[in-house]
Amino acid sequence: MPIEYLKKATLTATSDASDVHETVKGILDAIEAGGDAVAMDFAAKFDRYDGNVLLTAEEIDAAIAQVPEKLKADIRFAHANVKKFAEAQKATVSDVEVEIIPGLVAGQKAIPVDAAGCYVPGGRYSHIASAVMTVTTAKVAGCNHIAVASPPRPGIGIAPAIVYAAHICGADKILAMGGVQGVAAMTFGLFGLPKANILVGPGNQFVAEAKRILFGRVGIDMIAGPTDSLVLADKDADPMIAATDLVSQAEHGYNSPVWLVTDDRAMADRVMELVPQLIDDLPELNRDNARAAWRDYAEVILCADREEMAATSDAYAPEHLTVLCEDLDWWLDRLTCYGSLFLGEETTVSFGDKASGTNHVLPTSRAATYTGGLSVHKYMKIVTWQRSTREAARDVAIATARISRLEGMEGHARAADIRLAKFFPGENFDLSPSG
Protein backbone atom coordinates (compact mmCIF):
# COMPACT_ATOMS: atom_id res chain seq x y z
CA MET A 1 0.00 0.00 0.00
CA PRO A 2 1.19 3.62 -0.46
CA ILE A 3 2.55 5.44 2.55
CA GLU A 4 -0.03 7.28 4.63
CA TYR A 5 0.53 10.75 6.05
CA LEU A 6 -0.98 10.90 9.53
CA LYS A 7 0.42 14.42 9.76
CA LYS A 8 1.41 16.42 6.69
CA ALA A 9 3.61 19.53 6.65
CA THR A 10 1.90 22.72 5.57
CA LEU A 11 5.23 24.41 4.85
CA THR A 12 8.65 23.34 3.63
CA ALA A 13 12.09 24.51 4.69
CA THR A 14 12.13 26.96 1.78
CA SER A 15 8.58 28.30 2.11
CA ASP A 16 9.65 31.52 3.77
CA ALA A 17 12.95 31.92 1.95
CA SER A 18 13.46 35.61 1.33
CA ASP A 19 15.68 37.07 -1.31
CA VAL A 20 18.78 37.84 0.69
CA HIS A 21 21.18 37.46 -2.22
CA GLU A 22 21.42 41.14 -3.16
CA THR A 23 21.74 42.25 0.45
CA VAL A 24 24.56 39.82 1.15
CA LYS A 25 26.32 40.54 -2.12
CA GLY A 26 26.21 44.26 -1.41
CA ILE A 27 27.78 43.77 2.01
CA LEU A 28 30.51 41.50 0.64
CA ASP A 29 31.33 43.91 -2.19
CA ALA A 30 31.46 46.88 0.19
CA ILE A 31 33.75 45.09 2.65
CA GLU A 32 36.06 43.79 -0.06
CA ALA A 33 36.42 47.32 -1.42
CA GLY A 34 36.64 49.10 1.93
CA GLY A 35 38.51 46.60 4.08
CA ASP A 36 38.75 46.69 7.86
CA ALA A 37 36.97 50.02 8.34
CA VAL A 38 33.87 49.02 6.40
CA ALA A 39 33.75 45.63 8.12
CA MET A 40 33.82 47.51 11.43
CA ASP A 41 30.94 49.71 10.27
CA PHE A 42 28.81 46.65 9.52
CA ALA A 43 29.82 45.08 12.84
CA ALA A 44 28.66 48.20 14.67
CA LYS A 45 25.37 48.09 12.76
CA PHE A 46 24.56 44.39 13.02
CA ASP A 47 26.54 43.14 16.03
CA ARG A 48 26.03 46.37 18.00
CA TYR A 49 29.43 45.83 19.53
CA ASP A 50 32.26 48.33 19.82
CA GLY A 51 34.85 46.23 21.63
CA ASN A 52 38.11 44.83 20.32
CA VAL A 53 37.57 42.73 17.19
CA LEU A 54 40.59 40.45 17.20
CA LEU A 55 40.84 39.00 20.68
CA THR A 56 44.18 39.44 22.42
CA ALA A 57 45.81 36.76 24.55
CA GLU A 58 44.77 38.73 27.63
CA GLU A 59 41.15 38.90 26.50
CA ILE A 60 41.13 35.18 25.80
CA ASP A 61 42.54 34.47 29.26
CA ALA A 62 39.93 36.75 30.83
CA ALA A 63 37.11 34.98 29.00
CA ILE A 64 38.46 31.56 29.97
CA ALA A 65 38.53 32.63 33.62
CA GLN A 66 34.75 33.13 33.47
CA VAL A 67 34.02 29.55 32.39
CA PRO A 68 33.06 27.22 35.27
CA GLU A 69 35.45 24.31 35.79
CA LYS A 70 32.69 21.74 35.30
CA LEU A 71 31.85 23.22 31.88
CA LYS A 72 35.53 23.30 30.98
CA ALA A 73 35.74 19.60 31.77
CA ASP A 74 32.70 18.89 29.60
CA ILE A 75 34.20 20.85 26.69
CA ARG A 76 37.51 19.00 27.06
CA PHE A 77 35.59 15.72 27.04
CA ALA A 78 33.78 16.65 23.82
CA HIS A 79 37.02 17.87 22.26
CA ALA A 80 38.80 14.61 23.08
CA ASN A 81 36.01 12.57 21.48
CA VAL A 82 35.81 14.68 18.34
CA LYS A 83 39.61 14.67 18.04
CA LYS A 84 39.82 10.88 18.39
CA PHE A 85 37.20 10.33 15.70
CA ALA A 86 38.80 12.93 13.41
CA GLU A 87 42.19 11.25 13.78
CA ALA A 88 40.62 7.92 12.82
CA GLN A 89 39.06 9.55 9.76
CA LYS A 90 42.36 11.07 8.74
CA ALA A 91 44.01 7.64 8.94
CA THR A 92 41.70 6.46 6.15
CA VAL A 93 43.37 8.88 3.72
CA SER A 94 46.93 8.02 2.72
CA ASP A 95 49.44 8.86 0.04
CA VAL A 96 49.38 6.35 -2.81
CA GLU A 97 51.97 5.30 -5.37
CA VAL A 98 51.28 2.72 -8.10
CA GLU A 99 53.10 1.59 -11.24
CA ILE A 100 50.54 1.96 -14.03
CA ILE A 101 52.67 0.27 -16.68
CA PRO A 102 56.36 -0.68 -16.32
CA GLY A 103 58.22 2.59 -15.82
CA LEU A 104 55.17 4.85 -15.36
CA VAL A 105 54.42 5.64 -11.73
CA ALA A 106 51.43 7.69 -10.58
CA GLY A 107 50.41 8.72 -7.12
CA GLN A 108 48.22 10.83 -4.91
CA LYS A 109 49.04 13.09 -1.99
CA ALA A 110 46.68 14.37 0.70
CA ILE A 111 47.59 17.99 1.44
CA PRO A 112 45.70 20.08 4.00
CA VAL A 113 44.60 23.56 2.98
CA ASP A 114 46.69 26.33 4.50
CA ALA A 115 44.09 28.53 6.19
CA ALA A 116 40.63 27.62 7.51
CA GLY A 117 37.90 30.03 8.56
CA CYS A 118 35.44 28.62 11.11
CA TYR A 119 32.13 30.37 11.74
CA VAL A 120 30.60 29.71 15.16
CA PRO A 121 27.02 30.92 15.72
CA GLY A 122 26.47 32.91 18.90
CA GLY A 123 23.18 34.70 18.49
CA ARG A 124 20.04 32.94 19.70
CA TYR A 125 22.13 30.06 21.06
CA SER A 126 25.81 29.95 21.96
CA HIS A 127 27.04 27.07 19.83
CA ILE A 128 29.95 25.89 21.94
CA ALA A 129 29.88 22.55 20.14
CA SER A 130 30.28 24.22 16.73
CA ALA A 131 33.63 25.60 17.86
CA VAL A 132 34.67 22.10 18.92
CA MET A 133 33.46 20.48 15.69
CA THR A 134 34.99 22.94 13.23
CA VAL A 135 38.28 23.87 14.90
CA THR A 136 39.20 20.36 16.03
CA THR A 137 38.77 18.84 12.57
CA ALA A 138 40.78 21.64 10.95
CA LYS A 139 43.57 21.15 13.48
CA VAL A 140 43.68 17.37 13.00
CA ALA A 141 43.68 17.84 9.23
CA GLY A 142 46.85 19.92 9.57
CA CYS A 143 45.74 23.42 8.55
CA ASN A 144 48.51 25.93 9.27
CA HIS A 145 46.14 28.69 10.40
CA ILE A 146 42.66 28.46 11.90
CA ALA A 147 40.55 31.57 12.41
CA VAL A 148 37.25 31.63 14.28
CA ALA A 149 34.58 34.29 13.80
CA SER A 150 31.67 34.43 16.21
CA PRO A 151 29.09 37.17 16.82
CA PRO A 152 29.68 39.15 20.01
CA ARG A 153 26.83 40.22 22.24
CA PRO A 154 26.42 43.96 22.82
CA GLY A 155 28.56 45.13 25.70
CA ILE A 156 29.70 41.57 26.45
CA GLY A 157 31.57 40.07 23.51
CA ILE A 158 31.80 36.44 22.46
CA ALA A 159 30.38 33.97 24.95
CA PRO A 160 33.32 32.93 27.19
CA ALA A 161 32.61 29.22 26.67
CA ILE A 162 32.94 29.65 22.90
CA VAL A 163 36.25 31.42 23.41
CA TYR A 164 37.46 28.61 25.66
CA ALA A 165 36.36 25.89 23.22
CA ALA A 166 37.94 27.61 20.23
CA HIS A 167 41.16 28.18 22.15
CA ILE A 168 41.70 24.65 23.49
CA CYS A 169 40.73 23.10 20.15
CA GLY A 170 43.48 25.01 18.36
CA ALA A 171 42.20 28.31 16.98
CA ASP A 172 45.04 30.67 16.08
CA LYS A 173 42.88 33.81 16.04
CA ILE A 174 39.40 34.55 17.41
CA LEU A 175 37.40 37.31 15.78
CA ALA A 176 34.53 38.99 17.62
CA MET A 177 32.47 39.56 14.51
CA GLY A 178 29.38 37.77 13.24
CA GLY A 179 27.21 37.52 10.17
CA VAL A 180 28.32 38.38 6.66
CA GLN A 181 31.01 40.71 7.99
CA GLY A 182 32.63 37.88 9.96
CA VAL A 183 32.63 35.60 6.94
CA ALA A 184 34.03 38.43 4.79
CA ALA A 185 36.82 39.18 7.28
CA MET A 186 38.10 35.60 7.12
CA THR A 187 37.68 35.35 3.35
CA PHE A 188 39.38 38.63 2.46
CA GLY A 189 42.09 38.39 5.09
CA LEU A 190 41.09 41.44 7.12
CA PHE A 191 42.52 42.46 10.50
CA GLY A 192 45.83 40.77 9.70
CA LEU A 193 44.34 37.32 9.10
CA PRO A 194 45.54 35.17 6.22
CA LYS A 195 42.92 34.75 3.51
CA ALA A 196 40.90 31.64 4.25
CA ASN A 197 41.08 28.78 1.75
CA ILE A 198 37.94 27.17 3.16
CA LEU A 199 34.95 28.41 5.18
CA VAL A 200 33.13 26.00 7.48
CA GLY A 201 30.46 26.06 10.13
CA PRO A 202 26.71 26.65 10.43
CA GLY A 203 25.02 30.03 10.42
CA ASN A 204 21.81 31.87 9.59
CA GLN A 205 20.48 32.49 6.09
CA PHE A 206 22.80 35.47 5.60
CA VAL A 207 25.89 33.45 6.53
CA ALA A 208 24.72 30.61 4.28
CA GLU A 209 24.19 33.00 1.37
CA ALA A 210 27.62 34.58 1.90
CA LYS A 211 29.21 31.14 1.67
CA ARG A 212 27.18 30.40 -1.46
CA ILE A 213 28.36 33.61 -3.15
CA LEU A 214 31.99 33.11 -2.11
CA PHE A 215 32.15 29.44 -3.12
CA GLY A 216 34.65 29.07 -5.93
CA ARG A 217 37.09 31.67 -4.71
CA VAL A 218 37.15 29.72 -1.43
CA GLY A 219 36.03 26.24 -0.56
CA ILE A 220 33.09 25.66 1.76
CA ASP A 221 31.85 22.70 3.76
CA MET A 222 28.30 22.97 2.40
CA ILE A 223 25.40 25.38 2.00
CA ALA A 224 23.21 24.59 4.97
CA GLY A 225 19.50 25.16 5.32
CA PRO A 226 17.36 24.70 8.44
CA THR A 227 18.36 21.63 10.45
CA ASP A 228 16.16 18.55 9.95
CA SER A 229 15.75 15.18 11.66
CA LEU A 230 13.92 11.92 11.00
CA VAL A 231 13.06 9.16 13.47
CA LEU A 232 12.37 5.59 12.36
CA ALA A 233 10.36 3.72 15.00
CA ASP A 234 8.80 0.27 14.98
CA LYS A 235 6.12 -1.15 17.27
CA ASP A 236 8.62 -1.98 20.01
CA ALA A 237 10.14 1.52 20.19
CA ASP A 238 9.63 3.68 23.26
CA PRO A 239 7.20 6.43 22.14
CA MET A 240 8.44 8.81 24.84
CA ILE A 241 12.00 8.57 23.55
CA ALA A 242 10.82 9.01 19.95
CA ALA A 243 8.75 12.07 20.89
CA THR A 244 11.52 13.57 22.99
CA ASP A 245 14.03 13.17 20.17
CA LEU A 246 11.68 14.90 17.74
CA VAL A 247 11.10 17.81 20.11
CA SER A 248 14.81 18.13 20.88
CA GLN A 249 15.48 18.83 17.22
CA ALA A 250 12.42 20.97 16.57
CA GLU A 251 13.70 23.49 19.13
CA HIS A 252 16.50 24.46 16.72
CA GLY A 253 14.17 26.83 14.89
CA TYR A 254 10.61 27.53 13.80
CA ASN A 255 11.36 26.09 10.35
CA SER A 256 13.31 22.97 11.39
CA PRO A 257 11.49 19.95 9.92
CA VAL A 258 11.15 16.79 11.99
CA TRP A 259 9.64 13.56 10.69
CA LEU A 260 8.44 10.31 12.24
CA VAL A 261 8.32 7.25 10.01
CA THR A 262 6.78 4.09 11.45
CA ASP A 263 4.96 0.91 10.47
CA ASP A 264 2.77 0.96 13.60
CA ARG A 265 -0.28 3.20 13.83
CA ALA A 266 -0.46 2.96 17.63
CA MET A 267 3.14 4.17 17.87
CA ALA A 268 2.37 7.12 15.59
CA ASP A 269 -0.76 8.06 17.54
CA ARG A 270 1.04 7.96 20.87
CA VAL A 271 3.96 10.08 19.63
CA MET A 272 1.56 12.67 18.19
CA GLU A 273 -0.16 12.77 21.57
CA LEU A 274 3.12 13.21 23.48
CA VAL A 275 4.91 15.80 21.34
CA PRO A 276 2.64 18.80 22.15
CA GLN A 277 2.89 17.97 25.86
CA LEU A 278 6.68 17.86 25.72
CA ILE A 279 6.79 21.13 23.78
CA ASP A 280 4.58 22.86 26.35
CA ASP A 281 7.10 21.93 29.03
CA LEU A 282 10.03 23.70 27.32
CA PRO A 283 11.34 27.17 28.23
CA GLU A 284 9.63 29.96 26.29
CA LEU A 285 12.09 30.50 23.41
CA ASN A 286 12.59 26.78 22.85
CA ARG A 287 8.83 26.23 23.15
CA ASP A 288 8.00 28.80 20.50
CA ASN A 289 10.49 27.35 18.04
CA ALA A 290 9.44 23.74 18.62
CA ARG A 291 5.73 24.53 18.51
CA ALA A 292 6.01 26.30 15.15
CA ALA A 293 8.26 23.61 13.71
CA TRP A 294 5.90 20.83 14.80
CA ARG A 295 2.80 22.69 13.61
CA ASP A 296 4.03 23.76 10.18
CA TYR A 297 6.91 21.50 9.15
CA ALA A 298 6.57 18.14 10.91
CA GLU A 299 5.25 14.99 9.30
CA VAL A 300 4.19 11.58 10.61
CA ILE A 301 4.26 8.85 8.00
CA LEU A 302 2.79 5.35 8.28
CA CYS A 303 4.41 2.65 6.15
CA ALA A 304 3.54 -0.98 5.43
CA ASP A 305 6.83 -2.52 6.57
CA ARG A 306 10.45 -1.79 7.35
CA GLU A 307 11.53 -1.82 3.70
CA GLU A 308 9.01 0.91 2.92
CA MET A 309 10.20 2.80 6.00
CA ALA A 310 13.81 2.62 4.79
CA ALA A 311 12.86 3.71 1.27
CA THR A 312 10.90 6.66 2.67
CA SER A 313 13.82 7.69 4.84
CA ASP A 314 16.24 7.53 1.91
CA ALA A 315 13.86 9.70 -0.13
CA TYR A 316 13.87 12.36 2.61
CA ALA A 317 17.68 12.06 3.02
CA PRO A 318 17.60 13.62 6.49
CA GLU A 319 20.44 15.48 8.10
CA HIS A 320 19.98 13.41 11.27
CA LEU A 321 18.51 9.92 11.24
CA THR A 322 17.55 8.01 14.38
CA VAL A 323 16.63 4.30 14.27
CA LEU A 324 14.47 3.04 17.15
CA CYS A 325 13.84 -0.39 15.68
CA GLU A 326 14.76 -4.04 16.08
CA ASP A 327 17.68 -5.52 14.09
CA LEU A 328 19.92 -2.44 13.97
CA ASP A 329 22.45 -4.15 11.71
CA TRP A 330 19.79 -4.51 9.01
CA TRP A 331 19.11 -0.78 9.13
CA LEU A 332 22.82 0.07 9.07
CA ASP A 333 23.27 -2.02 5.92
CA ARG A 334 20.05 -0.86 4.23
CA LEU A 335 19.97 2.91 4.77
CA THR A 336 21.96 5.00 2.29
CA CYS A 337 20.98 8.69 2.53
CA TYR A 338 21.62 10.57 5.76
CA GLY A 339 24.07 13.03 7.25
CA SER A 340 24.62 11.10 10.47
CA LEU A 341 22.99 7.92 11.74
CA PHE A 342 22.01 7.15 15.34
CA LEU A 343 21.27 3.48 15.97
CA GLY A 344 19.20 2.51 18.98
CA GLU A 345 17.85 4.42 21.96
CA GLU A 346 21.25 4.32 23.67
CA THR A 347 22.35 7.17 21.41
CA THR A 348 20.60 10.30 20.18
CA VAL A 349 21.15 13.21 17.84
CA SER A 350 21.85 15.36 20.88
CA PHE A 351 24.89 13.20 21.67
CA GLY A 352 26.23 13.75 18.17
CA ASP A 353 25.40 17.44 18.32
CA LYS A 354 27.47 17.98 21.44
CA ALA A 355 29.94 15.38 22.62
CA SER A 356 30.04 11.83 21.22
CA GLY A 357 32.71 12.45 18.57
CA THR A 358 31.04 12.49 15.16
CA ASN A 359 30.61 15.90 13.57
CA HIS A 360 27.42 17.93 13.81
CA VAL A 361 28.02 20.08 10.71
CA LEU A 362 25.89 18.00 8.36
CA PRO A 363 24.04 18.20 5.01
CA THR A 364 20.46 19.53 5.14
CA SER A 365 17.64 19.89 2.62
CA ARG A 366 18.27 16.48 0.99
CA ALA A 367 21.94 17.24 0.36
CA ALA A 368 22.65 13.90 2.07
CA THR A 369 21.77 12.28 -1.26
CA TYR A 370 25.19 13.37 -2.54
CA THR A 371 27.44 14.45 0.33
CA GLY A 372 28.37 13.72 3.91
CA GLY A 373 29.12 16.13 6.72
CA LEU A 374 32.16 18.04 7.86
CA SER A 375 35.27 15.94 8.49
CA VAL A 376 39.02 16.19 8.22
CA HIS A 377 38.59 15.25 4.56
CA LYS A 378 36.89 18.58 3.82
CA TYR A 379 40.11 20.40 4.69
CA MET A 380 42.33 18.16 2.56
CA LYS A 381 43.16 18.31 -1.12
CA ILE A 382 43.69 14.95 -2.81
CA VAL A 383 46.20 15.78 -5.55
CA THR A 384 47.92 13.52 -8.05
CA TRP A 385 51.41 13.27 -9.53
CA GLN A 386 53.26 11.12 -12.06
CA ARG A 387 56.78 10.21 -13.11
CA SER A 388 57.93 8.12 -16.06
CA THR A 389 60.92 6.55 -17.73
CA ARG A 390 61.44 7.41 -21.38
CA GLU A 391 60.58 3.89 -22.42
CA ALA A 392 57.29 4.00 -20.53
CA ALA A 393 56.49 7.39 -22.07
CA ARG A 394 56.71 5.89 -25.57
CA ASP A 395 53.30 4.18 -25.71
CA VAL A 396 51.63 6.91 -23.66
CA ALA A 397 52.90 9.56 -26.09
CA ILE A 398 51.71 7.62 -29.13
CA ALA A 399 48.22 7.15 -27.65
CA THR A 400 48.11 10.80 -26.55
CA ALA A 401 49.07 12.08 -30.01
CA ARG A 402 46.43 10.00 -31.76
CA ILE A 403 43.63 10.79 -29.32
CA SER A 404 44.48 14.50 -29.38
CA ARG A 405 44.38 14.69 -33.18
CA LEU A 406 41.06 12.86 -33.26
CA GLU A 407 39.75 15.49 -30.84
CA GLY A 408 41.19 18.29 -32.97
CA MET A 409 43.68 19.37 -30.28
CA GLU A 410 46.86 19.66 -32.35
CA GLY A 411 48.82 21.46 -29.62
CA HIS A 412 48.31 18.54 -27.27
CA ALA A 413 49.44 16.13 -29.98
CA ARG A 414 52.62 18.10 -30.59
CA ALA A 415 53.51 17.99 -26.89
CA ALA A 416 53.61 14.21 -27.34
CA ASP A 417 55.33 14.37 -30.75
CA ILE A 418 58.30 16.37 -29.48
CA ARG A 419 59.01 13.82 -26.78
CA LEU A 420 58.87 10.93 -29.18
CA ALA A 421 61.28 12.77 -31.48
CA LYS A 422 63.69 13.53 -28.63
CA PHE A 423 63.56 10.22 -26.79
CA PHE A 424 63.48 7.95 -29.84
CA PRO A 425 65.40 9.72 -32.65
CA GLY A 426 65.23 8.00 -35.97
CA GLU A 427 62.08 6.02 -35.21
CA ASN A 428 59.04 6.58 -37.33
CA PHE A 429 55.68 6.64 -35.62
CA ASP A 430 52.27 6.68 -37.23
CA LEU A 431 50.62 9.38 -35.16
CA SER A 432 47.52 9.99 -37.26
CA PRO A 433 44.24 9.02 -35.54
CA SER A 434 43.53 6.44 -38.24
CA GLY A 435 47.00 4.88 -37.95
* pLDDT mean over 65-77: 97
pLDDT, mean over the chain: 95
Domain covering 21-93+112-221, topology: Rossmann fold (3.40.50)
pLDDT band per the 50, 70, 90 thresholds, residue 397: very high
Residue 17: predicted pLDDT = 55
* pLDDT mean over 421-435: 89
* pLDDT mean over 47-51: 89
The yes-or-no verdict on residue 435 having pLDDT over 60 is no
Residue 223: predicted pLDDT = 87
Angle formed by the axes of helices 265-280 and 239-250, to 10°? 50
Q: Name the amino acid, one letter, at 46.
A: F
Q: Which residues 6+ apart lie within 8 Å of 76 measured at CB?
A: 168
* pLDDT mean over 18-39: 94
* pLDDT mean over 356-370: 96
What torsion, rounded to 10 degrees, do the Cα atoms 233, 237, 241, 242 define?
Answer: 20
Q: Which residues 6+ apart lie within 8 Å of 283 measured at CB?
A: none
Q: Name the amino acid, one letter, at 316.
A: Y
pLDDT band per the 50, 70, 90 thresholds, residue 15: low
How much is the pTM? 0.93
pLDDT band per the 50, 70, 90 thresholds, residue 156: confident
The yes-or-no verdict on residue 298 having pLDDT over 60 is yes
The yes-or-no verdict on residue 1 having pLDDT over 70 is no
The Cα–Cα gap between 27 and 39 comes to 9
Residue 11: predicted pLDDT = 86
The string over 240-279, giving b where at least 16 C-beta atoms fall within 10 Å of a residue's C-beta and e elsewhere, is ebbbbbbbbbbbbbbbbbbbbbbbbeebbebbbebbeebb
The yes-or-no verdict on residue 406 having pLDDT over 70 is yes
Extended beta strands in 51-144, E state:
96-101, 104-112, 115-119
The yes-or-no verdict on residue 2 having pLDDT over 90 is no
Residues of the chain with CATH 3.40.50.1980: 21-93+112-221, 226-372
Residue 50: predicted pLDDT = 84
CB atoms within 10 A of CB 170: 17
Pick the CATH number of 226-372 from 3.40.50.150, 3.40.50.1980, 3.30.1490.20, 3.30.1510.10: 3.40.50.1980
Task: Determine the 3-state secondary structure of 320 from DSSP.
Answer: strand
**Tens digits of per-residue pLDDT, 221-278?**
998 889 999 999 999 999 999 999 999 999 999 999 999 999 999 999 999 999 999 9
Task: State the DSSP H helix or E strand holding residue 386, giving kind and residue range, or none if neither.
Answer: strand 380-388
Query: Nearest CA to 345 among 422, 240, 271, 261?
Result: 240
**Tens digits of per-residue pLDDT, 103-138?**
999 999 999 999 999 999 986 667 899 999 999 999
Active-site residues, by number, are 319-320
pLDDT band per the 50, 70, 90 thresholds, residue 375: very high
Residue 125: predicted pLDDT = 66
CB atoms within 10 A of CB 28: 20
